[in-house]
Structure 1
């Protein structure tokens, strides 16, 4: 199997111990409720050739109404922007687990944004986020507002669509976090409609780019894919979503949707079990619109050696599909650079071919 391609990990999360109380999900019993630093991430990925990562927001506590009123509801997401600023500019605080030399690894970061609040609120938030980001603002390539736990219809609200169109005009992407496994096909159907509405009447050059997280979280415990309605609905949605050329998919988040009995089996067994889903994504989007992402540290819950195991699964997909080196380069990093509009200096550092 081919190894050694430069990797841009398109989906990781980091947070310092001092800011764990600001995370909306961090209950004391949660195994992820402890510091996960860049130092920890580098240890988990060694010795793989990771050249950079894209950080995704970690669902900090927020209040949309208070944010619109006086900005107070945005305090913790903006604190996260300041945290990423320290990483991206190489300005660590003691105990945060990164160094000045680590700054080059931060290819991009994707903060939270109050997307449902509409364009006017978004303009105010972006100004505050830019202030918090300082000289690292160029590393901000898009935004995310998690939909997987929000009420049905959230993504179709007038304010939500207004905000997406604003992101497109400003050249930012939107990361889409939905969950078919636990929320059903409506999350996929609304994603299709959201994209249609966000692009309706918008010139192609101003249309927001959508990056779908974690295969849209299908149910990877399904055994009979030929008759299972959830698999059929997911497969149909993948081909529908892929018709939009400015929509990309992350090969990430698989462990979270597997049966516990599968997670720690050999890579070959896991690959065989989830190959139907990986094959659909590859067929629908092609190598130029899919990208490797680890979902570290979420991927580590209940999984030994999770980062390397997932890398081997994606590597096996490339091998079994007999992909050319140019296509492999796209999956391992080129697609992420293209989709997020990441500039690399010097360009030859990555040697990706578009």
Structure 2
């Protein structure tokens, strides 16, 4: 396969000193250690065609209730500290031991921080001002959108009026919204809410102001299903078709390893591809290669199921990034995608969807 420029549309980074601010980082979590740009470069093997990555927020501890109080922003400390961390990467000013160097700035093509979307547009406006102040001009220019994870929130969160009005504000301001839902663990309602969210956020809005929505991780389907007649697969397929009909909506080809059963995740990329082709085929048939973007979900993609770890084997798979890339490349080959479509899927779609400055990422 040709070495098309790669934009990894979904990675997470965090320094050792700020792990206590991560909401999920329990002591027994194998990811609860520093994952910085140097670690990412090692995981990818630093291929010459890797143009760069888009950083996505890491679910820092936050308090919407506190942050929503007039003049009180203490509930935003964790997310704003994350913006400061990204500023050090972009400006090439690492603190000792943080695992990045000045020339790593070129790899950070875009940033998608957390935002208090459910709090409504007035609070969101104030939060955006704080992010701009903390980020500084150079880093602010690389903030292309925002995310508020819905995968673990009560059903109905995404369809509340304040949530919808916040998305309309993002659209007016030229920002994207990363949509993270989880059909595998939360069921059909998450997909139904996602569709209502997008259609409501676009309703009555001029095309140029409609928020661009980037769906994460295929909506997290259960990739262990072996019968495509299974109700879960049928529900997912139906929802993906409906979501693909929405304007300014894209899909990240990412997060697959987290949804695979133990029996599948350790197999070679060719076998994994064969097993998950029904899902990949649906995504290609609905969104098409020019609304799909490659993403690794590093370092989450590296976590091995506990039952696959034996002896002195690491709990994290150092080859996960390269294995997922091989699966995506095999999909492109088996679907006989045109060279232009392959180039879009691997990098061009992410650049267009997020409005990334194409001069970034150049050595």
Q: Same fold (TM over 0.5)?
A: yes
- Say yes or no: does 1:305 pair with 2:304: no
Q: Is contact 2:106-2:360 (8 Å) kept?
A: no
The residue aligned with 1:80 is: 82
- In 1, Cα distance between the equivalents of 2:83 and 2:11? 15
The residue aligned with 1:234 is: 236
Secondary structure at the residue paired with 1:202?
coil
Compute the TM-score of the two structures, normalised by the length of structure 1.
Answer: 0.96
- In 1, Cα distance between the equivalents of 2:119 and 2:152? 17
Deviation digits for residues 65-91 of structure 1, max 9, x if unmatched? 100111110011000000011111111
Secondary structure at the residue paired with 1:284?
helix
- Say yes or no: does 1:133 pair with 2:147: no
Deviation digits for residues 213-268 of structure 1, max 9, x if unmatched? 0000000010111x200100100111100111300000000000000121111111
Secondary structure at the residue paired with 1:143?
strand
Cα displacement (A) at 1:51:
1.0
Deviation digits for residues 314-350 of structure 1, max 9, x if unmatched? 0000000001110011011000000000012279x59
- In 2, Cα distance between the equivalents of 1:317 and 1:88? 33
- In 1, Cα distance between the equivalents of 2:296 and 2:170? 25
- Say yes or no: does 1:175 pair with 2:178: yes
Q: Is contact 1:264-1:304 (8 Å) kept?
A: no
- Say yes or no: does 1:196 pair with 2:199: yes
Q: Is contact 1:113-1:143 (8 Å) kept?
A: yes
- In 2, Cα distance between the equivalents of 1:3 and 1:66? 51
User: Of the candidates 328, 334, 343, which is equivalent to residue 348 of structure 2?
Assistant: 334
User: Of the candidates 142, 145, 155, which is equivalent to residue 142 of structure 1?
Assistant: 145
The residue aligned with 2:331 is: 317
- The gaps in structure 2 that reach 5 residues or longer are 305-316
The residue aligned with 1:13 is: 12
Cα displacement (A) at 1:47:
4.1
Deviation digits for residues 258-290 of structure 1, max 9, x if unmatched? 001211111111000000000100110001100
Q: Is contact 1:90-1:102 (8 Å) kept?
A: yes
Compute the TM-score of the two structures, normalised by the length of structure 2.
Answer: 0.94
The residue aligned with 1:121 is: 123
- Say yes or no: does 1:344 pair with 2:358: yes
**Residues 247 and 346 of structure 1: is their aligned pair in 2 closer, same or farther, counting only changes over 3 Å?**
closer
5 Å matches for 1:31-110?
31-48=30-47, 49-69=49-69, 70-110=72-112
Q: Is contact 2:109-2:360 (8 Å) kept?
A: no
Q: What is the aligned residue count?
A: 347
- In 2, Cα distance between the equivalents of 1:237 and 1:159? 24
Runs of 4 or more, structure 1, over 2 Å off, are none
